[in-house]
Structure 1
């Protein structure tokens, strides 16, 4: 059985599931390889407009690196494995479709770093999360020091990373790490509802907006406005833009085709 599975919830929304519940869905070499294979398939399916990433079971989203596997590695192998996790997380961050992390349980280390590469994060009420690497005498190595600081601010990121502090869903929402938390029974439905609301919008516009935000967020305002204009211009010649105008005039819901 694959350590990563995926399926379509409907025509435009897919759910990818980390499937090693016996190992807290940790990043083994096999899971990383299976994750890439799943992303290959997802990227080939042009009907997908939003992707939900979650974990199997109700205990863990992803506990990070598989420390049991890592104990037998040489230093060089550890470096390569950390790089492979970082590459995977970055690939998720660069997906053209919006991504939603549905954090169904513990998300520590690389597991939380995976969620940070997603566009939106929601969690179950009982989820715990944190970048706890300094408690293992290392640091986050898959983008955590950078993405967390950009998301919640420099001082808060230092507080959580340097202390290796674990946080509840309430605390994560309070600091802006997640957008909301719900019961575990409601989590997937909440994520699908959110994904559906994204997928109902013009896919070219949604993707262009995501690209503009990501490319411009670290630039000065003048540069950011140029980036925004560049991506706005992608939407002008599309059939979807004309369909939206026609639908508005006819007082109906637009039927977007991603063209």
Structure 2
């Protein structure tokens, strides 16, 4: 049984529905655990050839659960080692598709970037607002976005923390296909059905080879995580997250 996702099977396609609608599918730690455990189950099921992750019509995922993180420290985060579970997503061998309606922010955007193909609504929005909380992406966002956009553009979007329109994401090759909002799930399942007709073993080998060309080195991920933890030693992190909880603009001091 799961609390925050729903898993279904449609032919050879395994579908994971994010299911915390009351908080726009914000990702808490249990939810990430459930997602990854289900991904691994689908990956090990020979009847499943393609995996789809989707949110709802309002949002894919709003980001991390700030209330869960507000009292964290670098020490508690190091002890928790919460990003180890994210590493397991990169071990999924089958095609992994994201269907994005609404917005995918923070950890939600990182989950999207961990997918192989992304189908998005024309009015969808992406972004890393962590800087407005006095922190930074920690589940691969700095590495994955930089690989896709290049250094300068990735810095601009991550530094500003603004929302990226789907059209911009499409222009930079982050999104594979843009469709009308009401057609996102239909187009995703149509593409997944096409992929499910291809030779499964060849698909796995192709994914492995392309990922090798992408060359996501662990050193960069390690630096990102160290700096993510370090941000939790700052007063700005406390101010940013407290301001978020109190629904007011933060006042950062630089310490």
**TM-score, length-scaled by structure 1:** 0.77
Q: Which secondary structure state, in structure 2, belongs to the residue aligned with residue 102 of structure 1?
A: strand
Answer yes or no: is 1:15 the counterpart of 2:15.
yes
The Cα shift of 1:143 comes to 0.6
- Cα 1:35–1:200 change in 2 (3 A) is same
Q: Does residue 103 of structure 1 match 2:100?
A: yes
- Give the distance between the partners of 2:145 and 2:79, measured in 1 at CA: 23
Aligned to 2:113: 116
Q: How many residues align?
A: 215
Match of 1:241 in 2: none
Please provide the CA RMSD for this pair.
1.9
Aligned match for 2:130, one of 117, 130, 133: 133
Q: 1:63 maps to what in 2?
A: 62
In the alignment, the residues of structure 1 paired with residue 50 and residue 201 of structure 2 have an alpha-carbon distance, to the nearest angstrom, of 12
Q: Deviations over 1:193-234 (max 9, x none)?
A: 111111111111111000011113339xxxxxxxxxxxxxxx
Deviates more, 1:122-131 or 1:72-81: 72-81
1:192 Cα shift? 0.8
In the superposition, the TM-score normalised over structure 2's length comes to 0.78
Name the SS for the 1:107 alignment partner: strand
Query: What CA deviation, in whole Å up to 9, does each residue of 1:73-125 have, x standing for no partner?
Result: 455444556x42x3333322220001111112211111101111111111112
| CA distance in structure 2 between the aligned counterparts of 1:105 and 1:62, rounded to whole angstroms | 9
1:30 aligns to what? Answer: 30
Instruction: From the CA coordinates, give the structure whose radius of gyration is larger.
Output: 1
Where structure 2 has 5 or more consecutive residues not aligned to the other structure, the ranges are 217-255
- Residue 210 of structure 1 is matched in structure 2 by 207
Higher relative contact order (CA 8 A, sep 6+): 2
2-side partners of 1:150 and 1:9: how far apart? 33
- Determine the structure 1 residue equivalent to 2:168: 171
**Residues 7 and 201 (structure 1), Cα distance of their counterparts in 2 relative to 1, 3 Å cut:** same
